[in-house]
Amino acid sequence: MNSLLTRSSLWAILLFACTSPAPEAKIALEEIEAKYGDQYKFKLDGYGYLLVTAKDTIDDGEIVEIYKDFVFDENGNNRGTATPWLNVYNRDGEFLYQLAFDPQSSRFVRGNQEFH
């Protein structure tokens, strides 16, 4: 019974580790909330998604800047946020599109699939 408890505890720890945002992500989240919090609500889902919900209208150029500010530092280096996808929602919570960075082409790409 004791070994079962140990295995259960290990699974709980692994699940928590996989769904808990990296410390870098928490710092980046605080920074984008301070900069863009008047226009957007932010949430880290723990599975590699930054969820961005507009409070009013959406500026697509600003969404790209939010992604850059969240994932990259001021020198363009990856912060280590471990968040490859940014999902965009309108003020009613309806999914609009997904933004990701393609390192092969060094471009931001939009997708219409909410989760992978």
For residue range 77-88, list pLDDT tens digits in order: 888 877 789 999
Q: Which of 3-17, 34-48, 88-102 has the lowest mean pLDDT?
A: 3-17
72 or 46, higher pLDDT? 72
Could you give the CA distance from residue 35 to residue 52 in angstroms, rounded to a whole number?
Answer: 13
pTM of the predicted model as reported, rounded to 2 decimal places: 0.78
Per-residue confidence at 20, pLDDT binned at 50, 70, 90? Answer: low
Could you give the CA distance from residue 111 to residue 99 in angstroms, rounded to a whole number?
Answer: 6
CATH code given to domain 21-111: 3.30.70
